[in-house]
Amino acid sequence: MQLRRAAVLGGGPGGLYAARLLKLANPACEVRVYEQGDPGSTFGFGVGLAAGTQRKLAAADPDTLRELVGAGLRHDMTLQVGTDIVRVHNDRLIGVARTELLAVLQRHAEKAGVELEYGARRKAAGLDADLVVAADGIGSDTRENGPFGGRTDVGKGRYLWCGTDFPLEDAVFAPVGTEYGTFVTHAYPYSGGRSTFLIETDEETWRRAGFDVTTAESEAPGTPFAASDETSLRFLEKAFAGQLRGHSLIGNRTRWQRFRTVRCDRWSSGNTVLLGDSAHTAHFSIGSGTKLAMEDAIALVEALGEAGDLGAAFAQYEQVRRPAVERLQGLARRSQLWWESFPSRLGLPVERLMVAYMSRAGNVPLHRFVHTAPDVVETALQQYGGEPPSGELTGWVLGRPLVHGGRRFPDRTSVPALEKLFCALEDPWSAEGDTLVARAKTTDGVLISGPPDRGAVLTRLDLAERIRLETGVLTAVEAAAELRDDLADALVSGRTDLVVRTEEAA
Ligand X SMILES: Cc1cc2nc3c(=O)[nH]c(=O)nc-3n(C[C@H](O)[C@H](O)[C@H](O)COP(=O)(O)OP(=O)(O)OC[C@H]3O[C@@H](n4cnc5c(N)ncnc54)[C@H](O)[C@@H]3O)c2cc1C
Q: State the nearest-atom distance from the C-beta of 92 to ligand X, in Å.
A: 14
User: In this chain, which of 137, 389, 450, 494 binds ligand X, going by CB under 6 A?
Assistant: 137
In terms of Cα–Cα distance, which of 68, 244, 233, 217 is closest to 161? 233
CA gap 329, 417 in Å, rounded? 37
- Number of neighbours of residue 126 by Cβ within 10 angstroms: 10
Task: For ligand X, give the closer residue by CB, 15 or 428.
Answer: 15
Residue-wise burial string across 100-120, b where 16 or more C-beta atoms lie within 10 A, e elsewhere = bbbbbbbebbbebebebeeee
x/- contact string, 91-130, with ligand X (CB under 6 A)?
Answer: ------------------------------xx--------
φ and ψ of 403, to 5 deg: -115, 125
Does residue number 290 form part of the binding site for ligand X (CB under 6 A)? Answer: yes
User: In this chain, which of 48, 167, 362, 428 binds ligand X, going by CB under 6 A?
Assistant: 48
φ and ψ of 426, to 5 deg: -95, -35
Does residue number 136 form part of the binding site for ligand X (CB under 6 A)? Answer: yes
- Number of neighbours of residue 220 by Cβ within 10 angstroms: 8
**Span of 283-291, 359-367, 439-447, 478-486 interacting with ligand X by CB under 6 A:** 283-291
**Span of 135-143, 310-318, 343-351, 402-410 interacting with ligand X by CB under 6 A:** 135-143
Does residue number 289 form part of the binding site for ligand X (CB under 6 A)? Answer: yes
Does residue number 72 form part of the binding site for ligand X (CB under 6 A)? Answer: no
Strands 498-501 and 475-479 come out as parallel
User: In this chain, which of 155, 167, 287, 385 binds ligand X, going by CB under 6 A?
Assistant: 287
Does residue number 288 form part of the binding site for ligand X (CB under 6 A)? Answer: yes
Q: Which of residues 2-41 bind ligand X (CB under 6 A)?
A: 9-15, 34-37
CA gap 167, 195 in Å, rounded? 5
Task: For ligand X, give the closer residue by CB, 10 or 150.
Answer: 10
Angle at 325 between CA 323 and CA 329, to 5 degrees: 115
Does residue number 150 form part of the binding site for ligand X (CB under 6 A)? Answer: no
Does residue number 157 form part of the binding site for ligand X (CB under 6 A)? Answer: no
User: In this chain, which of 30, 76, 130, 141 binds ligand X, going by CB under 6 A?
Assistant: 141
CA gap 72, 51 in Å, rounded? 12
In terms of Cα–Cα distance, which of 97, 91, 58, 56 is closest to 77? 91
Binding stretches for ligand X (CB under 6 A) = 9-15, 34-37, 47-48, 121-122, 135-138, 141, 161, 198, 276-277, 284, 287-291, 293
